[in-house]
A and B are shown apart, each in its own frame.
Chain A
Amino acid sequence: MKKDKLVRISLIFLAVSFIFIMLVLPLLLVAKEALAKGFAVYANSLTEGIAVKAMILTLEATVAAVLFNTIFGVASAWLLTKYDFKGKTFLASIIDLPFAISPVVAGLFFIMLFGRMSPLYPFLQAEHIKIVFAIPGIILATIFVTLPFITRELVPVMEAQGRDEEEAAASMGADGFTIFRKITLPNIKWALLYGVTLCTARAMGEFGAVSVVSGHIRGKTNTLPLHIEILYNEYNFTAAFAVASVLVIFAIIILIVRNYIEWRSKKKISAV
């Protein structure tokens, strides 16, 4: 018994110290640097015009990326769990692939497809459609790096759920959308929300891929992470960390929302 307690305490200690050193200390450092010149400077660097514009752009790109990825995530998870077809395993691996691709390279993909060296470029130019070095490119890059998140969250849950309920509904003549809305969605909504929160967090913080396609135009195509880099390269460390702390705060809010969601779902289950 005594030995158990010792093991328990040392494991907790190990886990807590690991997270403290690897995660909490860097975050504390961000906070310390952000407030190094007092709260006024901190607030100033956040309310300054270009920072606000970067924040708005980041939120736009995040919302757009999460929206599209939600549609894709649900459709692909549905496809992978409700049907059997040839090439299913291969498709599943393809969806995971963006995890294995360096974000910088992902950015280059879009430059090659929509940039000046692309055969599509004259057409886009003639139609006055700007994709790379403009907001659509930023959204595309953000979508790319967050592509697998929602699918990955949904597939295990939908797999565990099986197909019985959907098949029963289908046998009663319900169409696909009705089945999804009435049967599947209530079963997966918490997993979906969890996937969405992760996707949101990751989308807000994306740097590498966005950096390649952005063009770094101040106040126009600079997202928050890019703005941080610029401030840092201006030796404006306080402001850089202040803006970084905003992303941390956003992330924490998202995670609190997620925990709240989880807590509510648990409460609901135990109430049934």
Chain B
Amino acid sequence: MNFKGFHKIAAGTLSILTAAMLMTGCGGDSQFAESEKSGSSEFLNVSYDPTRELYAEFNEKFSAEWKAKTGEVINFNQSHGGSGKQARSVAEGLEADVVTLALAYDVDEVAKAGLMDKDWLKKFPDNSAPYTSTIVFLVRKGNPKNIRDWNDLVRDDVSIITPNPKTSGGARWNYLAAWEYFKEKNNGDENAVKENIKKLFKNVAVLDSGARGATTSFVQRGQGDVLIAWENEAILSKKDAPDDYEIVIPSISILAEPSVAIVDSVVDQKGTRKLAEAYINYLYSPEGQEIAAKNFYRPRDKAVAEKYKNQFPALKLVTVDEAFGGWAKAQKDHFTDGGTFDQIYAK
């Protein structure tokens, strides 16, 4: 009797609660409800923080292109956040058609969750990275600390801002670029490399959790003498305040390859594979490459690269595959718990 009464009440409350939630869930946004029906008019690109301007422009162009070609009106949605966090969300159930993340390791995580083919990297040209960038230094006007290359960063009088490689995908490129420089300089003597990297991180004043946070610490808060940043981010900061900053190109750096991939299980379920493929292919088209270059990413397309060559000075660039044996290995060697990065801080 008692138990029965409880059940009745519980069932009643459950139905009210669920009904109300579904109502707010669907009624709150009519477009959302539409997408459930027609299935294909919504498209979600889950990306990382610094691509916001890039994809805002790209989606607009591609949307017009797609409409002209097929007559379909697609609503392109963007989600931005830390690269790792975004990969996690997709793995946890955020229904992305495509992911455009900061590094292959994060896309691997989505693949590991069973949402896409394990060899997604081979699906598109250039390691599925339609645009690239590299790691440069942003210093204050006049370069008062006279920072020219990586070895200046281990000087005692230099204060550095760089995000935490453990929480920021982008920051892992910074770390690997520095590693590569010291590796070449010390002829591969790992202990010497570690010593230098350790010195470098001892100079870090603020270890922000994300790349954009680090930029803010450097630009807005006036922390540090040098910001280790992606080239696109550095150019953006300099463009906003040309009189305050200078970009310093180190002698050697890494080729940052932000990865793009189709989330197979989602597009197959929604029936958006064609659209997703067209979307990514468009990134490789001259139009797509032009948009990337305009947003300070180095284009793969030779013609577009030539056009923007003043913006992207040449320097020696190594890839993760060449220097570190791919992302899985790099991650394991350097960034997992107990890896070289943790050793820096180990007591």
Does chain A touch chain B in the assembled complex, meaning CB atoms less than 8 Å apart? yes
What residues of chain B lie closer than 8 Å to A215, measured between beta carbons? 79, 89, 94
Kindly identify, within residues 18 to 54 of chain B, every residue whose CB is under 8 Å from any CB belonging to chain A.
Answer: 20-22, 24-25, 28-29, 31-32, 36, 44, 49, 52-53
A129 close to B (CB within 8 Å): yes
What residues of chain B lie closer than 8 Å to A111, measured between beta carbons? 92-93
What residues of chain A lie closer than 8 Å to B215, measured between beta carbons? 235
In the complex, per-residue mask of A231-257: 1 if CB is within 8 Å of any chain B CB, else 0: 011110100000000000000000000
Q: Given contacts A128-B36, A136-B25, are A235 and B212 in contact (CB under 8 A)?
A: yes
Q: Residue B28 contacts which of A68, A114, A132, A135 (CB distance < 8 angstroms)? A: A135
Complex contact B92–A115 (CB within 8 A): yes
B305 close to A (CB within 8 Å): no
B224 close to A (CB within 8 Å): no
Complex contact A116–B113 (CB within 8 A): yes
A233 to B210, CA, bound (A): 9
A216 to B51, CA, bound (A): 14
Complex contact B24–A121 (CB within 8 A): no
Complex contact B80–A216 (CB within 8 A): yes
A73 to B28, CA, bound (A): 25
In the complex, per-residue mask of A135-160: 1 if CB is within 8 Å of any chain B CB, else 0: 11001100000000000000000000
Q: Given contacts A115-B93, A116-B92, A233-B210, are A220 and B24 in contact (CB under 8 A)?
A: no
B286 close to A (CB within 8 Å): no
Give the shortest distance, in Å, between A139 (CB) and chain B (any CB). Answer: 6
Q: Residue B77 contacts which of A61, A121, A136, A220 (CB distance < 8 angstroms)? A: A220
A43 to B95, CA, bound (A): 34
Give the shortest distance, in Å, between B244 (CB) and chain A (any CB). Answer: 14
Complex contact B24–A139 (CB within 8 A): yes
Give the shortest distance, in Å, between B26 (CB) and chain A (any CB). Answer: 8
The residue of chain B having its C-beta at the shortest distance from the C-beta of A135 within the complex is B25
Kindly identify, within residues 198 to 227 of chain A, every residue whose CB is under 8 Å from any CB belonging to chain B.
Answer: 215-220
What residues of chain B lie closer than 8 Å to A53, measured between beta carbons? 29
Complex contact A216–B24 (CB within 8 A): no
Complex contact B21–A139 (CB within 8 A): yes
Interface size on B, residues (CB 8 A): 37
Complex contact A132–B52 (CB within 8 A): no
B119 close to A (CB within 8 Å): no
Kindly identify, within residues 128 to 169 of chain B, every residue whose CB is under 8 Å from any CB belonging to chain A.
Answer: none
Give the shortest distance, in Å, between B278 (CB) and chain A (any CB). Answer: 21
A117 close to B (CB within 8 Å): yes
A58 to B151, CA, bound (A): 49
A68 to B89, CA, bound (A): 27
Complex contact A218–B92 (CB within 8 A): no
The residue of chain B having its C-beta at the shortest distance from the C-beta of A117 within the complex is B92
B78 close to A (CB within 8 Å): yes
The residue of chain B having its C-beta at the shortest distance from the C-beta of A233 within the complex is B212
Complex contact B24–A133 (CB within 8 A): no
Complex contact B93–A121 (CB within 8 A): yes
A179 close to B (CB within 8 Å): no
The residue of chain B having its C-beta at the shortest distance from the C-beta of A134 within the complex is B25
Q: Residue A60 contacts which of B22, B28, B91, B212 (CB distance < 8 angstroms)? A: B28
Q: Given contacts A111-B92, A128-B36, A233-B80, are A217 and B44 in contact (CB under 8 A)?
A: yes
The residue of chain A having its C-beta at the shortest distance from the C-beta of B95 within the complex is A133
B81 close to A (CB within 8 Å): yes
A51 to B80, CA, bound (A): 16
Q: Residue B80 contacts which of A115, A129, A230 (CB distance < 8 angstroms)? A: A230
What residues of chain A lie closer than 8 Å to B113, measured between beta carbons? 116
What residues of chain A lie closer than 8 Å to B29, measured between beta carbons? 53, 57, 135, 220
Q: Residue A136 contacts which of B21, B31, B94, B212 (CB distance < 8 angstroms)? A: B21
Complex contact B92–A233 (CB within 8 A): no
Complex contact B22–A136 (CB within 8 A): yes
A35 close to B (CB within 8 Å): no
Complex contact A116–B36 (CB within 8 A): no
Give the shortest distance, in Å, between A181 (CB) and chain B (any CB). Answer: 18
The residue of chain A having its C-beta at the shortest distance from the C-beta of B213 within the complex is A233
The residue of chain B having its C-beta at the shortest distance from the C-beta of A72 within the complex is B13
Q: Given contacts A117-B92, A133-B89, are A217 and B240 in contact (CB under 8 A)?
A: no
A185 close to B (CB within 8 Å): no
Give the shortest distance, in Å, between A167 (CB) and chain B (any CB). Answer: 22
In the complex, per-residue mask of B282-297: 1 if CB is within 8 Å of any chain A CB, else 0: 0000000000000000
B281 close to A (CB within 8 Å): no
Give the shortest distance, in Å, between B35 (CB) and chain A (any CB). Answer: 10
A182 close to B (CB within 8 Å): no
Specify which of A61, A68, A133 lies most central, judged by the most chain B CB atoms within 10 Å of its CB. A133
What residues of chain B lie closer than 8 Å to A68, measured between beta carbons? 17, 20
What residues of chain A lie closer than 8 Å to B86, measured between beta carbons? 216
What residues of chain B lie closer than 8 Å to A140, measured between beta carbons? 21
A130 close to B (CB within 8 Å): yes
The residue of chain B having its C-beta at the shortest distance from the C-beta of A221 within the complex is B79
Give the shortest distance, in Å, between B246 (CB) and chain A (any CB). Answer: 18
B251 close to A (CB within 8 Å): no
Complex contact A219–B77 (CB within 8 A): yes
Complex contact A218–B22 (CB within 8 A): no
Q: Residue B24 contacts which of A60, A117, A234 (CB distance < 8 angstroms)? A: A60
A117 to B53, CA, bound (A): 32
Q: Residue A129 contacts which of B22, B28, B210, B220 (CB distance < 8 angstroms)? A: B22
Kindly identify, within residues 14 to 68 of chain A, every residue whose CB is under 8 Å from any CB belonging to chain B.
Answer: 53, 56-57, 60-61, 64, 67-68
The 16 listed contacts between A and B (C-beta, < 8 Å) are A57-B28, A60-B24, A132-B93, A133-B92, A134-B25, A135-B28, A135-B32, A136-B24, A216-B81, A216-B89, A217-B44, A217-B79, A220-B32, A230-B52, A233-B210, A234-B52
Given A219-B77, A232-B212, A233-B210, 11 more A-B residue pairs with CB atoms under 8 Å apart are A64-B21, A64-B24, A68-B17, A114-B93, A132-B92, A135-B29, A136-B25, A217-B78, A230-B52, A230-B80, A234-B53
